Structure 1
Amino acid sequence: MAAMSGLALGGAAVAAAGAGGAWLWRNHGQLAMRRPLSEWTFTHMDAVMPVEAVPRGERTRPLAGVPGALEVTYRFDGRELSLTDLHRRTNTTAFVVLRGGELVHEAYPGRFAAAGVRFQLFSLTKSVTSMLMGIALDEGAIKSTSDPVTGYLPDLAGTAYDGPTIGQLLDMSSGAGGLEDYLDPTSDVNRLERAVTRRGSARDVVRSVERSAQPGTRFNYSTIDSQVLGWVLESATGISLARYASAKLWQRIGAEHDAYYFLSRGRPRTALGGGSFNAAVRDVARLGLLMSRGGVLDGERILPQEWVARSRGSELPHLAVGALGPSGFPHYGYSNQWWTLGGPRRAFTGLGIYGQFLYVDPEADLVIAKTSAWPTADDPARDRETIAAFQAIADHFVDHQNR
């Protein structure tokens, strides 16, 4: 979610402003999202917004292995580059690589980064919401992805979300809302951001979204779709998103650190199923390991295998790699709140603006978690370069294995 943490910085950004206080107050949202201040913002959301903890369990699942150097190069725009180059060029703040379930490499180039620091994951939250949805379906709290959204949220009857199914929202094909334009102050996502950070009503924003396409026919990336999915989960399970995530996912993967969702300022406070999850990077990698292993960790099935398969790609033509249109980059497809890459290994990744990644290549038995503080919310070149580096790392391990 684009500027969700920026405008929230509030008085904390201007506490020591002095003579420039008035100017800073008018512009603190933009400043909070600019480098280098953004590195602080992205690691201190619990200092600037209300939060709800996602407690870890009593047992931590150890990550075996001894992290060391990773001498891998990748080719981008005609140049051969190192991982050090990647971190410098794409403003990496934290970087963890798991191979064969073991921690083989980690780095924390960010000013405020460390193994125990919780990072704002922005829209990578959407992939976590998908995992929770898969668990809720497996347990019967939600009957089917074919269920209409209004079966769980009757107050959305008569809105653009009256008609679309849960599955269509998972695939960003609800037909509700327009292009998610972070630069347009009147866009739906920016109206949602203002409601969350200025004590408005997120529910009223969602109810006001207009229908733009027939459900199930067109990809349109939408944080509001994911927000609605979070509310569906809360309605179906009867508990908050944070409590459900803790009991059904965070404790079961053996997370090292508590995570948290930041919440809306206005009451009733709500977590953002599309953009407010904060977690330590090793624990994010543990989520990727669960996906890489087909939903099983240490012999315990946490996610249905078919849910993981659904997240690796879709047969629907409008979700294919290169077919997403103006709200997706050409090197991606989409499915189940994950960005898909196709190809023989069918790798896939969770994404968040400003450069948050959870890359999963089950065929290479590889997971990469990367947090960043890009200068802008979206950056096609930095995105392509990051994926090129990830694919080179995967190729490195596959080639080494086949020798």
Structure 2
Amino acid sequence: MKRMLILGGALGAVLTGGTWLWRHHGELASNRPVNEWTFTHMDKLMPSERVLRPESSRALLRRGKLPDVRYCFDGRRYSLAELHRRTNTTSFVVVHRGRVVAEEYPGWFAAPGVRFQAFSLTKSVTSLLIGIALEQGEIGSIDDPIVDYCPQLRGSGYDGPSIGDLLNMTSGVGGLEDWSVADAPIHRFERAVTTGGSVLDVIRSLPIMSAPGQRFNYSTIDSHVLGWVLEAATGRTLAQNASARLWSPMGAEHEGYYFLTRGRPRTALGGGSLNSTARDLARIGMVMADGGRVGADQVVPEAWVLRSRGAGAPSLQVGALGPSGYPHYGYSNQWWTLGGPHRAFTGLGVHGQYLWVDPDRETVIVKTSAWNHPDDPDRDRETVAALSAVVDALQESGSTTAPG
């Protein structure tokens, strides 16, 4: 009861002062317990553009249930119920061999039709749309300079890096993306997005830290620039691209949306503003798990899927990313790679958003969360341990239970 009274008072502040609250979201809106509301109601706080669903969706069929899963973390064993409690899970969907074997919504405002803020998991979707635009000939090559598509960036740090450099977070532009530093570039970018300031001015102000292609440095701004490249190349917004080239061919069940910059011209964030149901995020994962296909249709180029499972550069391998990445991840093509014999990979978003894809073991896992802090190394390590255990349990069981 006490928890609900606290939440009710906090939500009252949200509902009566949404604009003020979002401008000060670092103080309140992204912290628990308010963030459970914020992360499912972004269209109430920011301008948005819909990602349209097709006239008919492809069913997500159910098969049995997930085996009893226990995972080990820091010397103790836990259940998935404990994972959800310990890591503030809001939705959890597991697909094995094309069938749903688990679907839960522990979040206070969560349900199958609720759109969750994907944060940086958006980057992985932007990558898919870039890959499709390359296949369609709208983008010439990943070796093309960024300024060929974004002339407004001539004379800035982005006058030199290629599309491929940004896809692998090796642009050499800007410093460490650190949410704990009040005046870090990511905070200046965020303030421009949410208060109507000039996003372009922030991006043009970023210093060159290294030559392109040499050093991994995780950058939401790199991904935002990729969104600009995609929009310039295709003549369509991110939402229009996602509607036509993902939501429609994969048979999405619900509309999604991108929130937009408050200042004009309003634009979506290629690095962080997609909102989608967990079920439709699972459909995106299923496309990737099946080599870019939906049935007989090749939606994402197969070579693009392979590129997303791991690049050859030593500096992008698991454990080699340096201070800008955790030691259990590598990076490739706007996806975090997991290495090993199965070469699984995952989209990630701050506050605990995951789209885990293991094509070899035919498994996709969606976990949305409402962590109190944007980056939480311990909760991330625990989630990786738990999701790995889920995949292992499904492999061992063969998911042979009868359809439910």
Which TM-score tier does this pair reach, normalised by the shorter chain? over 0.9
Aligned counterpart for 2:114 among listed residues 103, 109, 117: 117
Aligned partner of residue 357 in structure 2, secondary structure: strand
CA contact (8 A) 2:145 2:162 kept: yes
CA contact (8 A) 2:23 2:195 kept: no
Aligned partners of 1:16, 1:224: CA distance in 2, in Å? 28
Structure 2 residue identity aligned to 1:13 = V
Structure 1 residue identity aligned to 2:14 = A
Q: 2:4 aligns to what?
A: none
Aligned partners of 1:138, 1:12: CA distance in 2, in Å? 47
Aligned counterpart for 1:81 among listed residues 78, 81, 87: 78
Q: 1:255 aligns to what?
A: 252
Aligned counterpart for 2:349 among listed residues 334, 352, 356: 352
Q: Structure 1 200/25 Cα, relative in aligned 2: closer, same or farther at 3 Å?
A: closer
Aligned partners of 2:223, 2:17: CA distance in 1, in Å? 37
Q: 1:15 aligns to what?
A: 16
Q: 1:393 aligns to what?
A: 390
Q: Which runs of 5+ in 1 are unaligned?
A: 1-8
Aligned partners of 1:283, 1:361: CA distance in 2, in Å? 17
Q: 1:133 aligns to what?
A: 130
Aligned partners of 1:303, 1:381: CA distance in 2, in Å? 34
Aligned pairs, number: 390
Aligned partners of 2:300, 2:154: CA distance in 1, in Å? 31
TM-score by length of 2: 0.93
Q: 2:7 aligns to what?
A: none
CA contact (8 A) 2:11 2:34 kept: no
Map residues 26-41 of structure 1 onto 2, 5 A cutoff.
29-41=26-38
Aligned partners of 2:240, 2:82: CA distance in 1, in Å? 40
Aligned partner of residue 31 in structure 1, secondary structure: coil
Structure 2 residue identity aligned to 1:106 = E
Q: 1:5 aligns to what?
A: none
Aligned partners of 1:14, 1:121: CA distance in 2, in Å? 22
Aligned counterpart for 2:156 among listed residues 159, 164, 176: 159
Aligned counterpart for 1:44 among listed residues 28, 32, 41: 41
Aligned partner of residue 30 in structure 1, secondary structure: coil
Map residues 360-371 of structure 1 onto 2, 5 A cutoff.
360-371=357-368
CA contact (8 A) 1:68 1:106 kept: no
Aligned partner of residue 28 in structure 2, secondary structure: helix
Q: 1:288 aligns to what?
A: 285
CA contact (8 A) 1:122 1:274 kept: yes
- Post-superposition offset of 1:179: 0.4
Aligned partners of 1:256, 1:398: CA distance in 2, in Å? 28
Map residues 50-89 of structure 1 onto 2, 5 A cutoff.
50-66=47-63, 68=65, 70-89=67-86
TM-score by length of 1: 0.93
Map residues 332-347 of structure 1 onto 2, 5 A cutoff.
332-347=329-344
Q: 1:211 aligns to what?
A: 208
Aligned counterpart for 1:175 among listed residues 172, 177, 180: 172
Aligned partner of residue 86 in structure 1, secondary structure: helix
Q: Which runs of 5+ in 2 are unaligned?
A: 1-9
- Post-superposition offset of 1:13: 2.5
Moved more, 310-319 or 29-38: 29-38
CA contact (8 A) 1:219 1:318 kept: yes
Aligned partner of residue 230 in structure 1, secondary structure: helix
Aligned partners of 2:129, 2:353: CA distance in 1, in Å? 19
- Post-superposition offset of 1:15: 2.1
Q: Quick check: 1:230 aligned with 2:224?
A: no
- Post-superposition offset of 1:29: 4.1
Aligned partner of residue 351 in structure 1, secondary structure: strand
Aligned partner of residue 170 in structure 2, secondary structure: coil
Query: Deviations for 1:96-127, whole angstroms, at most 9, x for unmatched residues?
Result: 00000101111000000000000000000000
Aligned partner of residue 280 in structure 2, secondary structure: helix
Aligned counterpart for 2:276 among listed residues 269, 272, 279: 279
Q: 2:319 aligns to what?
A: 322
Aligned partners of 2:262, 2:152: CA distance in 1, in Å? 21
CA RMSD of aligned residues (A): 2.0
